[in-house]
Amino acid sequence: MSAALRTGTESFLARFEGLRARLPGDLVARQAAAEAFRSAGLPTVRDEAWKYTSLRPLADNDFREALTSVEGGSLPKIPAIEGPRAVFVDGRLREDLSSLPDTLHFTRFANDPSFGTLSRPDQQPVVALNTMLAEDGAVISVAEGVDAGTLVLVSLAAETEGRSVTFHPRHTIRLAEGAKLTVVELSVGRGRYLHNPVFSIEVASDATLTHIRLQNEAMEAFHLATIYATVQSRGFYDAFTLTLGGQVSRAEFHARLVGPNATVHLNAAQLLGGKQVGDVTTVVVHDAPNCASRQTVKNVLTDKARGVFQGRIEVERIAQKTDGYQMSQALLLSPDAEIDCKPELQIYADDVKCSHGATIGELDDDQLFYLRARGIPEQEARSILIRAFLDDALQSVSHEGAHALLEQAIDGWWQRQSASAA
């Protein structure tokens, strides 16, 4: 481990020592996580799972804990979307900013501090970090057969007198049989901070969870999210992540299909510029027959940005008739942009259909000329082609309000890129 990463690790451990008396819930689990974190340390590029994404810039910061109260006036704006919401500021629920629906049961982790059984702090140091320091989060459950509609889950990072803060929200979402819920997760903020959420998601038989994530953190921020999901028979976990913000970010999914005919979609798009690094890592385990998994990951990369996609599909011996599909496509808009793509298939069953593919390209000159020959100015023509490149990933988002929000965010990204290029 490099000196910087060791210092980073030690400062997080010191924080845990300082806070432990005030942290809610099971101290034994936290202590175990701290031990795991101490022995593993912040991941380095020598760790196979972190080969393409370095956390050195994270370790170089002198982070403090989130302040318990935030003075008004410096909160970033919540992106405009209708519907009930749970708003977290620097990782803590702000009831005054939230409006919760009565279609579901909502409590906060601070009052119901259970870590559940899905997460693996012993294997993922970033999850151990969360387990050590988690203070709050959303604990959501939807009862059998209930269509709970939409909940907007907002994370705001407030800029607090130039202090760099870290927060480690711990979210749990449980859908009982036949339940339905759409969670639109928005992360925005100001300044330099670490947002390190962990989700434990259980989708029971015939239930459907749609999870739309818009990661639009501050450009100096770090976003390290780990999402664990299990899906029972005929259940459906439908996730889409749009990554725009953060200097280093990672969305890591561990999805298990544990009942026959279950489905998981882990689609994502990353639009990155400057020196941003954006990482989508997925592990899909087919542990029952007749299940389907779909992953389409699109990267639009400009300047010196780097996109990472690591996708693993494991098909257990029992999982006959598995239908797995994985596609990674990258559009490189500058000669210095880079995409690292690592597909992995581990198949132990003999009657399965699994495919994966990867493409890398630039904007097509013929298409660009065709648009310009019809009178569309070059910048607009480029934005049309970028939007078109994202189309089949975005089409998977059928929720109207979320779709509109994603479109707006993509437009905004493009306008910022054009403005900085001009």
Partner 1 sequence: MLEIKQLSASLEDGKVILNGVDLTVPSGEIHAIMGPNGSGKSTLSYVLSGRDGYEVTGGSATFEGKDLLDMEPEERAAAGLFLAFQYPVELPGVGNANFLRTAFNAQARARGEPELDAVKFLRAAREAMKRLAMPDDMLKRNVNVGFSGGEKKRNEVLQMAMLKPKLAILDETDSGLDIDALKIVADGVNALRGPGFSALVITHYQRLLDYIVPDRVHVLSAGRIIRSGGPELAKELEATGYAPMVADAA
411 belongs to the binding site for partner 1 (CB under 8 A): no
Residue 17 tokens, joined? 């020592």
DSSP 129-166: HHHHH----EEEEE-TT-EEEEEEEEEEE--BTTB-EE
Position among 384, 404, 407, 416 found at the interface with partner 1 (CB under 8 A):
384
Based on the shown chain and the rule CB under 8 A, indicate whether residue 389 belongs to the binding site for partner 1. Answer: yes
Q: Which of residues 335 and 375 has its CB atom nearest to partner 1 in the complex?
A: 375
- What's the distance, Cα to Cα, between the start and end of the chain in Å? 41
Sheet holding 236-243, edge to edge: 92-93, 85-89, 147-157, 180-189, 208-216, 236-243, 263-272, 292-301, 323-332, 353-361
Stretch 205-234 residues interacting with partner 1 (CB under 8 A):
none
Q: Which of 378, 412, 420, 421 binds partner 1 (CB under 8 A)?
A: 378
CB nearer to partner 1: give 114 or 367.
367
Give the nearer residue to partner 1 in terms of CB position, either 350 or 365.
Answer: 365
Contact flag: residue 388 with partner 1 (CB under 8 A): yes
Tokens 């300082």 -> residue? 18
Binding partner 1 (rule: CB under 8 A), the pick from 321, 380, 403, 404 is 380
For position 377 contacting partner 1 by CB under 8 A, the verdict is: yes
| Contacting residue, 112, 344, 392, 400, with partner 1 by CB under 8 A | 392
CB 414 within 8 A of CB 386: yes
Of these, 371, 401, 407, 408, which contacts partner 1 (CB under 8 A)? 371
Q: Would you say 184 and 210 are in contact if contact means Cβ atoms under 8 Å apart?
A: no
Distances (CA, A) of 89 to 43, 105, 132: 27, 21, 19
Nearer to partner 1, 51 or 387 (CB): 387
- For the bound state, the minimum distance from the C-beta of residue 367 to partner 1, rounded and expressed in Å, comes to 5
**Nearest by Cα to 76 from 284, 196, 217:** 217
The yes or no reply on residue 73 touching partner 1 (CB under 8 A) is: no
- What six digits make up the tokens of 359? 């493409």
374 lies in the binding site for partner 1 (CB under 8 A): yes
Cα separation of 382 and 13, whole Å?
47
Least Cβ distance, residue 388 to partner 1 (angstroms): 3
Q: Which residues bind partner 1 (CB under 8 A)?
A: 365-367, 369-378, 380-381, 384-385, 387-392
